[in-house]
Structure 1
Amino acid sequence: ELGAQNTPKSWVMNITFIFLGIVCIVESLLNLNKFRWHQMILILFGVGLILSGLFKHMPIDHQINYSVREDELHSMASSLVGMSFTVFVFSSIFILNTKANRYVALSIGTLICLLSLGIFKLPHYAGLFQRLIFFVSFIWLIDFFVRENYDKLATKTLG
């Protein structure tokens, strides 16, 4: 509902999606040059976020007019966000520099998958699950880039 079509102040959430998408793309281009696969996946994640901000989902209140096509495009963009981030988290296991960091990535990836399943199994709580996914994802992603957990390794793990 925060970024839905024809909803007051939805621009705030949509600008946030676009901003976060741009930041992810820039971080990827600046910091993942040694890891092209990971860089590509994170760029896809950023593009998905930007598209999620440009194409808004339908409002919860079905009395409000909305574009079905725009909602479908938002859904596709959201799927790109979810899939690319999940692939990024699980594939980061191969570039992280300590066993502890790899276990954290495995745990985060598993949690994201479980929360995503929760969206479909308990649709009344979908908004809560989505917010938890975003919160956990961005905390992990910030930690990933701030601590440069990936920078010192690849030669040990990948050969």
Structure 2
Amino acid sequence: MQHAWVKRELPVDSGQQRLAFRLAVTGVLAIIAAMTVGPMFSPTEFSWVAHSTSEQAGQHLPGAWIMRSGFVAYGLGTLAAATLTWHRRSWVSAALALFGIGLVATAIWSNAPIVPDLPVDLHQDWLHSIASAVVGTAFAAACAARLFLPGGQHRDRVAWCGLIISVLVPMAMGWLPELRGLLQRAMFAYSFLFVLREFRPG
């Protein structure tokens, strides 16, 4: 006899699924807009190739609110979508909900500014680092849950790539600091693919 917790997938109301997908799409489009438009309002020291999105949203920087708004929109969109589809794949939804909460937290507490001589709140910078770590860990957990926990698929290539990327890209950012921003934005782009596929109707 198959126990309830081994079921592959529980049905979700089609209206809820469509709403969840629309919320996720809205969040993704908002953060893409923030990543694209934000640098135009950033200080001259900012480089989207070398500097991370966290540095784009750094303390006391002009235009930082744009990237912070992107974090909040993507975070809330993912959190809401995960809540609406909780019973479909609960472990994946739980990880993505934490991913969304972490993103909102990165906007609440900001990274130290890249511009010299600006005031720095080191405690806020530390909290931002914790929130960023939560985001990365939660995304890796969502990929792992998609692969290994009840309702997952061991041959899910999208999840396998996401899990590998979540490990290798942060390491590559340390090895190639001049490309940190580019590498992080590529990792974000892959998270968009994973999140939208997860909440896609059907």
Q: Is residue 139 of structure 1 aligned with residue 193 of structure 2?
A: yes
Could you state the TM-score of these two structures normalised by the residue count of structure 1?
A: 0.83
What's the counterpart of residue 135 of structure 2?
Answer: 81
Count of equivalent residues: 146
1:85-136: CA deviation from partner (whole Å, max 9, x where unpaired): 111112112435694xx02210222123211111222223222221111111
1:113-124 map, 5 Å = 113-124=167-178
1:53-72 map, 5 Å = 53-72=107-126
Identify if the C-alpha distance between structure 1 residues 119 and 98 changes in structure 2 by more than 3 Å, giving closer, same or farther: closer
Letter in 1 for 2:173: I
What's the counterpart of residue 57 of structure 2?
Answer: 3
Alpha-carbon deviation of 1:141? 1.2
Unaligned runs of 5+ in 2: 1-54
The CA distance in 1 between the partners of 2:76 and 2:130, in whole Å, is 18
Larger RCO: 1 or 2 (CA < 8 Å, sep 6+): 2
The CA distance in 2 between the partners of 1:146 and 1:34, in whole Å, is 12
Structure of larger gyration radius: 2
The alignment's C-alpha RMSD in Å is: 1.8
**Is this contact kept in 1: 2:98–2:134, CA < 8 A?**
yes
**Is this contact kept in 1: 2:147–2:154, CA < 8 A?**
no
Letter in 2 for 1:62: P
SS at match of 1:93: helix
Unaligned runs of 5+ in 1: 149-159
